[in-house]
Structure formats: structure tokens, C-alpha cells
Chain A
């Protein structure tokens, strides 16, 4: 009885905190929107300069079929780009961890690819590749590197003593390159793979945001060529037509997509790590 009291108190306090953490930013957002609406109404700002939030919402509803189709296009590019980045990044990181020679020869090239601004590569890709492939390639390029570098970091973050145990308790590898590779592959599966998971998850979260940015940038570069159909293309198109309310509606949709992707990734990361990793287990207790 004595101990039940404080724990109940603590749980109600933590629930109060959760409510506060959701309510506070939401309240600020609503306040900002209300202020925006009031400003537009009072100062009579024309909608082609700054549309009021109510108008943006009405436009979103009116243009929903168009915007929804565009949203699906952008989302598909983002997710496909992300998937390819994960496959490529993880595969390359594993290859690097198994062979120094491969790492030394390829890693600098990956860095070059990363540091070159994607907006500068997009027009070239649009020349050489079909338009949809070029957009996908842009999303892939920006999302690829965080997956690669974080996975590499994670694979290297195994406790050295654990690797020592592995060496001690594992059967002595027979001489020969193939046997050594097999032994490394085993250490990779049993030790490095789980050890890399937290860093990989961090990379995945970064990559998700970047993949969306890559898709948008490429769509914008392509959009000026007039062949796109994603949300970013709708924005460029609306800008040319001075349909600023629709531009805002597309922008809001992009932001919502970004937030949803972020939350999905956070949930995946939580599910994968909550049992043992401090970053996720600490929050529950």
C-alpha cells in the first residue's frame, strides 16, 4: 500500500508529461495558424501573395484528387529510393567489413557522391536517364550515404573483447582465404549484425528524411522540363500559374508526409531496439 501510492503518483505524473509533450507543440501550431489567418484577414493580403490557412485547407479539399495522385507518386519515389539505399548501403557496408581492399577502393567514391550537392547532379541525371528513373536515382543518392556510413560505424562498434572471445571459442579457422572469409562472415552474423543495429536505425531515420528531399529536388529539376507529376512538380506548376493556395496545400502535404515517415521510422527503431538498447528502453521506465 505504501509503495503503491508513489508509483501511482509517478505514473500519473509521467502521463501528464506525455499529454503536455503532445499538447504544447500542437497548441503553438494552432496559435501560429490562427495568427496567420488573422493577419491575412486584417491586412487584407491577396491570396497570390499569402493565402489564408482556411483557403489553403479549402484548396486542398477541392484539388484533392490531383494532389493525392501526386502525393502517391512522390511517396513511391521516396520509399523506393529509401529501399534501394538501404539495400545498397547495407550491402556495401558488409562488403567493406569483410574486405579492406574493397573499402579502401570504393569508400572515397561514396564520399564524393555524398558531398556533391544533389541539386547539381539532378539536371545531368535527367539528361542521361528516363525521367522517373532519374528522380529515383536522386532520392537514392542522398539516402544512400547515411545508411552506408552509419552501418559501417555500427559494424565496427563491436566490443573488441567480444571479438576476442569469438576468436577464443570459435574453432580455429583453417588456413586459406575462403576459411577466413567464412569465419568473418560468422562474426558478422553473430556479433556485428546486432551490434550495428542501433547505428543502422539512426542512419535509416536520417536517410528517410533525405530520400524525401532527394525526390523533391529531382522532381523540381525535372518539373521545369514539364514532365513530372509528383507533389514538387505540382508546386512548381502552381508557382508558374500563380496558384499560390495550391502551392501551399502541396507544401503542407509534403510536410505531413515527412512527419508520418519520421514517425514510422521511429516506431520501427523502437520495435527493433526496445528490449536492450538504452536509446529506446530508457523511455519506458
Chain B
């Protein structure tokens, strides 16, 4: 039975090795005085799928942007295991909640953007673009414009774009929140496959308990005002994450436990 080798375990600051990137007492207070994050410390292990789960406004997106270097923390620091400040950017792929495609450009041109910014011409990037589109199953739509695609297809393009640089770390900011449930399920499954195929590390921001349990190796539960991590949950399911897992008693149990943690997060002390 699946339950025999899987289970829920609440752990105190958990640091599997080797660490790819670590947040060390990171805090962010915006210019208007709002403290979005306070004293967040977490290590992201190479190859793991980590979800940041919390209510809206708990600073999970801010944490993600700090990891990406899009905003600077006002306290603490972000440490990369084996790269200097300049070259870790090339190891990051970022997916926003919105597909954030350029509406004037075709699907292929959108996927080209990161490569273009690295100085590759469209011709030189052609193989990489085709490869990335194939990964997300969008090869037939290379010449389409974003307005011709459905929400799920746009998100696939957005993921393809994030993958063109073959990042070691994929940062995803509630990427499937705006999609209908069936599309979300399908994209969850595809994301699993992609991750297994590419072996990249993923930090996934979500407010969905179900999604986080389905996808993650580890869930960091956050509380709001100011945002901090109050619990970490390890999902030790080593079997396939598929419809069997989604309908298993274990999955239901895990969701229940994580939901309880999330509901009580406001009363919990920061880790």
C-alpha cells in the first residue's frame, strides 16, 4: 500500500542537502511601511519541489521575487550555493500568475525572448524554441498569436519561455490560479512530468492546499502580517503523483492536515 512508504511529518527547519539557494533571515518592508516578510529562513535543496503555501497577502510572492532578485530584501540575505551574483540569474526561470506574453509577438517569438536578451538571433534560437515548445506540447502553435490561445495554452507558452534557458531553479508564482480546475489538473500533471524530465528545482507559490500537496516534496506554510514561515510539511510520497494519488486516502489525509496547519497559521509562532 502507498501509505506504508509515505506519510506526513511535521518538521522543524528542515534542510535536505545539497542546498541550491538559501534565504537567511530575509525580511522586506516596502517604502509605504508595509512589512511583507519578516525573518524568513529556508534552504531550497537541489532538485526538490517546494511550495510556499499561505493566505493572500502573506508575502509568498514577495519571497519568490526576492529569490529571483527582482526585489531587494530589506533584511537578511539570499545565498546561492555555487554561483556569483551575476550568473545565478541565468539559472532562473520565472512564471507569473498571468501568462505575461507579449501580445504583439507570436508564440515562438515569446519563447525566444530570454534567448534574445542573451544575444541569440531568432535563427540561432530556432532549435531551442522548438524544443521548449515541444516540452509543453505547443509545437503546433508556434506561429499563433497569444490572443488566439486559451488560458491554459497561454500558460504553457509562459512555462516554455521560462524553460528556454534550461534553468536549474524554476520559480512559479501561482501560475495556475486563474485557470479552470480541469485545465489546472492537466497542467499539474504536465508540470510533474516536466520536472522529472528536466530535473530542475521548483519553488511554487500557491494558496491551494490541494495543489501544493499534489505537487510538492515539501510545503512551507506561511502566515500573514508580517509574512513568515510557521510550519514545514514533508510529503513523503515516493510513488507517482497521478490520479491514483489524488484519489487516495493518504492524499485526503495530507490535505486535511495541511489545511489544519494553514487555518491555524495565524496563531502559530514563526519557525
Contacts and interface: CB of A to CB of B under 8 A. Distances in A.
B117 A170 contact: yes
Nearest to B100: A161
Contact of A159 (B65, B100, B113, B117): B100
Interface of B: 65, 68-70, 85-86, 89, 92, 94, 96, 98, 100, 102-105, 113-114, 116-118, 145-147, 165
Q: Which secondary structure characterizes the binding site on chain B? A: loop
Given A168-B92, A172-B86, A276-B145, A162 B100 contact: yes
Please classify the interface of chain A as helix (H, G, I), strand (E, B), loop, or mixed, using the class held by over half of its residues.
Answer: helix
A281 interface: yes
Interface size class of A (residues with CB under 8 A): 20 to 34
A275 B146 CA distance: 10
A228 to B, nearest CB: 43
A240 B94 CA distance: 71
A226 interface: no
A197 B102 CA distance: 13
Contacts of A166: 117
B113 A169 contact: yes
Contact of A194 (B86, B104, B114, B145): B104
Contact of B70 (A164, A171, A275, A277): A164
Contacts of B94: 164-165, 168
A74 B100 CA distance: 46
A172 B117 CA distance: 11
Contact of B104 (A161, A164, A195): A195
A63 interface: no
Contacts of A172: 85-86, 89
Contacts of A162: 100, 102
Interface string A246-285: 0000000000000000000000000000011110010000
20 contacts: A161-B96, A161-B98, A162-B102, A164-B65, A166-B117, A168-B68, A168-B92, A169-B118, A169-B165, A171-B117, A172-B86, A172-B89, A190-B113, A190-B116, A191-B102, A194-B104, A275-B145, A276-B104, A276-B145, A276-B146
